[in-house]
A = this chain, B = another copy of it.
């Protein structure tokens, strides 16, 4: 297992969102492990589900009525251990920075027998990544400021992930 080359990002107390993805036949390569571009499909689905279920902004609405998009601007990822056919992976998403028109998230995926919300350790983490997402508007070059209501929803997520469960 390799050591991460990623710049250390201090993580909040707990993830803002946890999403499960089962490794299917379509995700696996001739070595019987997940082909890494398929991980990014799972990552994208995690972000989509988070936007819809927690923020109240589904991608159908963002790409439809809002005429906007949330493209990925950069990714820094370490693949630490392979994942195999039939495994259920736990995706933990943390918001690490909210900018005027961008958003940094840390996403790590783990497997094994632990509960989905158990902290992921070096022994169970399959990959961890930092990504920057940006808000864009159709017909506007470059990024655009987060709309107020979407920004407010993102801020609630940040507050929530720093709260201790007491």
Interface residues of A (CB under 8 A from B): 1-2, 4-6, 24-26, 28-33, 35-38, 40-41, 44-45, 48, 52, 58-61, 63-64, 69, 71-79, 82, 84-86, 132, 134, 142
How many copies of the chain does the oligomer comprise?
Answer: 4
Chain B residues near A24: list those with CB within 8 A. 44-45, 48, 59
* 8 Å CB contact of A25 from B4, B29, B74: B29
Main secondary structure of the interface of A (DSSP, over half): mixed
By the criterion CB–CB under 8 Å, are B30 and A37 in contact?
no
Whether A37 contacts B38 by the Cβ 8 Å rule is yes
Alpha-carbon distance between A79 and B72 when the two chains are bound, in angstroms: 7
Q: B45–A60 contact, CB under 8 A? A: no
User: Using Cβ atoms and an 8 Å threshold, which residues of chain B touch A132?
Assistant: 5
